[in-house]
Amino acid sequence: MKIAYIVGSLASQSLNRGLAKALASLAPEGVEFVELPIADLPLYNRDYDGHWPEVATRFKQGILDADGVLLITPEHNRMYSAALANALEWSSRPWGTAALVGKPVAIAGVSPSQLGTALAQSHLRGPLNFFGADLMEQPELYLNATQAGVTADGDVAEESRDYLAGFVEAFVERIRTGQ
């Protein structure tokens, strides 16, 4: 099974990238986590329709090839990041070809407080529902970085590992069973 993940932060020392590393390290046997990088995606506009840049074609194909997609979002001004919004725009274009239609999708995130990523995730659900993603509602994963011991290197506090592993297992099960 292949789970593609998209980290909405472009920061070199991103806590959300650290969370992605931690989640990938907890994947059960036979589950591969593959990052779909978004830093090099140009800002989408419809002038690209019909002649996409290679980086966008690879990105969208990565979503199509995955069994499920994990979006890991920071909070930027009470929203998900502009970089993640741009990536979602590319995934949904041209009109009628959204790559997330019917695709199992989960959302996770970490911030200095649980409130930040929780707000970003709440906003992210609207577009994902519009795109027709098969969105995992429970369990939710929004962490306080300090309490969970999440670092940019992918370390987490020992007491957080079971919770994170449970999230990964729930998403894998949803992909396997559709429930």
SS3 sequence of the chain? CEEEEEECCCCCCCHHHHHHHHHHHCCCCCCEEEECCCCCCCCCCHHHCCCCCHHHHHHHHHHHHCCEEEEECCCECCECCHHHHHHHHHHHCCCCCCCCCCCEEEEEEEECCHHHHHHHHHHHHHHHHHHCCEECCCCCEEEEHHHHCCCCCCCCCHHHHHHHHHHHHHHHHHHHHCC
pLDDT at residue 149 is higher than 90 = no
Region 36-45: mean pLDDT is: 97
Q: What is the pLDDT of residues 84-140, one digit of tens each?
A: 999 999 999 988 889 999 999 999 999 887 678 888 899 999 999 999 999 999 998
The predicted structure's pLDDT at residue 54: 98
pLDDT at residue 179 is higher than 80 = no
pLDDT at residue 160 is higher than 80 = yes
With a pLDDT cut of 70, the percent of the chain lying above it is 99
The predicted structure's pLDDT at residue 114: 64
Confidence band of 146 (pLDDT split at 50, 70, 90): confident
Q: How many CB atoms lie within 10 A of CB 49?
A: 12
Q: What is the pLDDT of residues 8-21, one digit of tens each?
A: 999 999 999 999 99
